[in-house]
């Protein structure tokens, strides 16, 4: 099968769901399509929360271009609530794979997809996974291992949001990398106006030391601002340590034993004064919700994964002499990256003042 550039996107725009309650998608394996069922489009993005959020501009472009299609997203089941809240696909096709690996199979049955879109990687593993479903059309980057795919070239120096929008534009679908926003959650935050401190990340290379996060949280708290320390599954010890070292009151930790339910996490970030976070999924959530953020980078440059430029977000990064300009370190190493350790507590506090304004009392957005 050969993928060829498609026609320009239709002029009609599909109405996007505004919230999880309105979206109401089903999350199950793709069963057989009935004779009168709409055509189905399958999007592969079987990664984490940050990866899902950086794909929002591409997913929104597909939703607009395919108003008559049922769109299924192949992604881990733990992203079901986030996918529903974004409201751009109709169903989640649950996948399993270790780490950031390509799944070995997809739970698909029935007729082949009308369209398959590889938003997972450069191939060929992800290409072959989708090709096994025999889609009528396949949108993907070209790769020597799958020469039958006549897609655009992969650019390793490209920002993640730009990359997937460029892929779709090559196939005739208008897509805009700045179209990152997701709907505000319908539920209220229990801590409106709080500064959210998120010390975790899925690799030690991207975890700023806990004592430095605690020093930042302590200074913010002493300035009169409530502070919430968030943690993902398995990060309870880290979150409690930061809160304890910072001298925060009881109840200041959210999550840690398990992931914070996405509606609650989304509401907390949406109503936050500011988010202080490493290069991980919560940084992308702050971007998507328009919440001011200070994002700490180490082994990977903000140019590849950072927030959009502008006054609401600050990315801190200190590349050393002779370092690779984009990927000077190992993003999956166990020890904090040297570039991350060059970021100081006063520097982070100055950045918080910059994105939030130098107010010295409690505030709310």
> Are the beta carbons of 75 and 93 closer than 8 angstroms?
yes
Q: Where are the beta strands (DSSP E) in 77-181?
A: 91-95, 115-118, 137-139
Q: Where are the beta strands (DSSP E) in 36-110?
A: 40-44, 70-76, 91-95
- The backbone torsions φ and ψ at residue 64, rounded to the nearest 5 degrees and listed phi first, read -70, -35
pLDDT in tens, the chain (365 residues): 333 333 333 332 333 333 233 333 333 445 555 557 899 999 999 999 999 999 999 999 999 999 999 999 999 999 999 999 999 999 999 999 988 899 999 999 889 999 999 999 998 999 999 999 999 999 999 999 999 999 999 999 999 999 999 999 999 999 999 999 999 899 999 999 999 999 999 999 999 999 999 999 999 999 999 999 999 999 999 999 999 999 999 999 999 999 999 999 999 999 999 999 999 999 999 999 999 999 999 999 999 999 988 779 999 999 999 999 999 999 999 999 999 999 999 999 999 999 998 643 443 33
> Are the beta carbons of 327 and 245 closer than 8 angstroms?
no
CA distances from 234 to 12, 17, 125, 250, 356 (A): 45, 32, 30, 20, 30
With DSSP H G I counted as helix, E B as strand and the rest as coil, what are the percentages for the chain, rounded to 5?
Answer: 30, 15, 55
Q: Please, which residues have CB within 8 angstroms of residue 353's CB and are 6 or more apart in sequence? A: none
pLDDT in the model for residue 27: 39
Instruction: Kindly calculate the radius of gyration of the chain based on its CA atoms and give it in whole angstroms.
Output: 21
Q: What is the pTM of this model?
A: 0.88
Which is nearest to 58 in space by CA: 40, 45, 75, 77?
45
Strand partners for 276 = 197, 294
pLDDT in the model for residue 343: 98
CA distances from 182 to 185, 219, 278 (A): 9, 31, 21
d(C-alpha 293, C-alpha 205), whole Å:
20
> Are the beta carbons of 94 and 29 closer than 8 angstroms?
yes
Sheet containing strand 195-198, strands side by side: 253-255, 227-231, 195-198, 274-278, 293-296, 313-316
Q: Widest CA span of the chain, in angstroms?
A: 64
């Amino acid at each position: 099968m050969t993928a060829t550039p498609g026609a320009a996107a239709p002029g009609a725009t599909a109405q996007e769901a505004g919230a999880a309650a309105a979206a109401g998608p089903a999350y199950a394996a793709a069963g057989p399509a009935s004779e009168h069922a709409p055509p189905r489009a399958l999007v592969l993005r079987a990664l984490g929360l940050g990866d899902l959020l950086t794909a929002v501009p591409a997913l929104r472009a597909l939703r607009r271009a395919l108003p008559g299609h049922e769109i299924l997203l192949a992604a881990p089941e733990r992203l079901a609530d986030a996918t529903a809240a974004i409201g751009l696909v109709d169903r989640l096709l649950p996948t399993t794979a270790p780490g950031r690996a390509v799944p070995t199979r997809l739970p698909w049955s029935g007729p082949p997809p009308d369209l398959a879109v590889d938003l997972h990687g450069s191939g060929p593993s992800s290409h072959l996974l989708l090709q096994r479903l025999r889609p009528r059309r396949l949108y993907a980057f070209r790769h020597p291992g799958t020469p039958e795919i006549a897609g655009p070239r992969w650019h390793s120096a490209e920002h993640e949001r730009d990359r997937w929008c460029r892929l779709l534009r090559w196939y005739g679908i208008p897509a805009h990398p700045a179209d990152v926003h997701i709907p505000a959650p319908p539920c209220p935050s229990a801590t409106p106006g709080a500064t959210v401190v998120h010390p975790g990340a899925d690799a030690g290379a991207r975890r700023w030391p806990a004592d430095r996060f605690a020093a930042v949280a302590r200074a913010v708290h002493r300035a009169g601002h409530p502070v919430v320390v968030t943690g993902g599954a398995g990060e309870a010890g880290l979150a409690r340590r930061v809160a304890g070292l910072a001298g925060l009151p009881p109840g200041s930790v959210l999550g840690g034993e398990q992931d914070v339910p996405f509606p609650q996490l989304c509401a907390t970030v949406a109503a936050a004064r500011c988010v202080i976070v490493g290069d991980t999924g919560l940084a992308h959530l702050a971007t998507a919700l328009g919440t001011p953020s200070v994002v700490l980078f180490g082994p990977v440059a903000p140019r590849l994964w950072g927030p959009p430029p502008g006054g609401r977000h600050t990315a801190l990064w200190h590349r050393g002499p002779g370092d690779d300009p984009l990927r000077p370190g190992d993003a999956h190493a166990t020890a904090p990256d040297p570039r991350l350790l060059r970021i100081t507590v006063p520097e982070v506090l100055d950045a918080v003042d910059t994105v939030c304004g130098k107010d010295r009392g409690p505030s709310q957005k």
